[in-house]
DNA sequence: TATTGTTATACTCTATAACTATA
DNA sequence: TATAGTTATAGAGTATAACAATA
């Protein structure tokens, strides 16, 4: 049998690199996929994509009209993506745009009563799924994992500048 | 019905739900985004998408002709997505399809010399980025995080069957 | 002039179904 | 009949640029 994975960082071909299975981006992707697989049916039941749900959830969390730019930050969506998503959600009467009195460029987004109802309807099932994960993984451990993930994400802020150089093809 | 009130599960509107910031999928997404932000420049320098890179990396890790289906599992890509990616990579002479002698339905994929060269060229920079993250986050902690993520991903296997019905394959 | 947000455009991935060619 | 893989198709997000309206 050929060596599938030698110890250390040497792959079969002699390329010095971590084994694929130890790639952090892959591990994060896998974990997220596994997690989302549990939540996705809740969303598809309501014809919501993950990103649409992120928007609704972010609005519900704040429970205040939110500027589009702020919403983009909260949901990790680019402005053009968010813009189209908002058009979609507005068309379904889940959110509404409101003009800002003192700055006509700005628009704020708020949940409609219908939008709030949808969130309220999904929330309990979402919590159920979450509690399942907690039960299987351990509540304390999960909280620790969340904290660690936040910290990993926070590392990035300002860290990537100057990180990669001499890569001018 | 008594709503559970633990570590601030009541949003502004009275929707019983975890705060947006404590959402596990969001935390995983954020952590992955922060991580990928560091790696992405390496890939765009070589005109590779994340998914294309996943394929090349998976092939380099195994360093053996790999069945398409197996590759799909390794890379977390659906067969149609993978199929198109392979067509693209084959067109750029980074991978090659080979027929399997004893089963004409099957095809195996292998890196070409060019493909190996690309991986070899990206690998050192990738390791540099990885070492930076390790240095900032702590090598021991990072290893622990990886293990925890793998375990979280593993929970899913067979766990969601009874949780939500209707998505059976 | 800089900003806020929307369109325009091109590309890619996701997801499901249908199809082919084997087995 | 089932399996492996590709095509077809529809839908959506990503990313960059260009744009309009406003500050």
What six digits make up the tokens of A108?
A: 């704020």
A29 CA – D19 C1', rounded, Å: 36
Segment A65-87, tens digit of pLDDT = 999 999 999 998 999 999 999 99
Confidence of residue B31 (pLDDT cuts 50, 70, 90): very high
A62 touches strand C (CB under 7 A): no
Helix (H) and strand (E) counts for chain A?
Answer: 6, 3
Of these ranges, A97-101, B21-25, B81-85, the one predicted with the greatest mean pLDDT is: B81-85
Whether B19 maps to a domain, the answer reads no
Whether B62 maps to a domain, the answer reads yes
User: CA dist A65 to A51, A100, B29, B92, Å?
Assistant: 18, 10, 24, 48
A101 touches strand D (CB under 7 A): no
Q: CA-to-CA distance for B57 and B49, rounded, in angstroms?
A: 12
- Global pTM value: 0.84
Here the contacts of A77-82 (C-beta below 8 Å, separation 24 or greater) are: A77/A51, A81/A51, A82/A55
Cβ proximity of A145 and B152 under 8 Å: yes
Host H or E run for residue B141? helix B139-155
Whether A19 maps to a domain, the answer reads no
Segment A3-61, tens digit of pLDDT = 343 334 545 556 778 888 788 999 999 899 889 888 888 888 888 999 999 999 999 99
Nearest to B34 among A31, A41, A156 (CB): A156
pLDDT(A98) > 60: yes
Residue whose Cα is closest to the C1' of D13: A81
Give the model's pLDDT for residue A161.
39
Cβ proximity of A60 and B11 under 8 Å: yes
Whether A100 maps to a domain, the answer reads yes
Nearest to A160 among B38, B54, B116 (CB): B38
**Which domain covers residue A43, as residue numbers?**
39-122
Whether A133 maps to a domain, the answer reads no
What is the distance of C-alpha A53 from the center of its chain? 10
Reading phi first (left if > 0) and then psi (alpha if -120 to 50, else beta), residue B41 is in alpha
Q: How many domains does chain B have?
A: 1
**Residue of chain A nearest B118, judged by CA positions:** A15
Whether A136 maps to a domain, the answer reads no
Segment B152-164, tens digit of pLDDT = 998 865 544 433 3
pLDDT(B2) > 50: no
Chain A CB contacts of B63 below 8 Å: 2, 11-13
CATH classification at residue B115: 1.10.10.10
Segment B76-94, tens digit of pLDDT = 999 999 999 999 999 999 9
Cβ proximity of A65 and A109 under 8 Å: yes
Whether B132 maps to a domain, the answer reads no
């Amino acid at each position: 049998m050929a060596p599938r994975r030698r110890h250390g960082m040497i792959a079969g071909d002699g390329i010095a690199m971590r084994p694929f299975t130890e790639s952090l981006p892959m591990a994060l992707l896998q974990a997220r996929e596994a997690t989302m697989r549990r939540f996705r049916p809740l969303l598809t039941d309501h014809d919501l994509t993950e990103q649409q749900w992120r928007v609704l959830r972010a609005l519900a969390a704040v429970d205040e009209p939110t500027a589009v730019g702020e919403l983009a930050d909260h949901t990790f969506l680019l402005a053009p993506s968010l813009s189209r998503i908002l058009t979609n959600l507005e068309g379904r009467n889940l959110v509404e745009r409101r003009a800002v009195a003192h700055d006509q460029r700005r628009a704020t987004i708020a949940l409609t009563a219908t939008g709030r109802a949808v969130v309220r309807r999904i929330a309990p099932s979402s919590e159920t799924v979450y509690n399942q994960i907690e039960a299987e993984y351990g509540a304390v451990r999960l909280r620790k994992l969340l904290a660690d993930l936040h910290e990993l994400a926070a590392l990035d802020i300002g860290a990537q500048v100057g990180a990669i150089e001499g890569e001018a093809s």
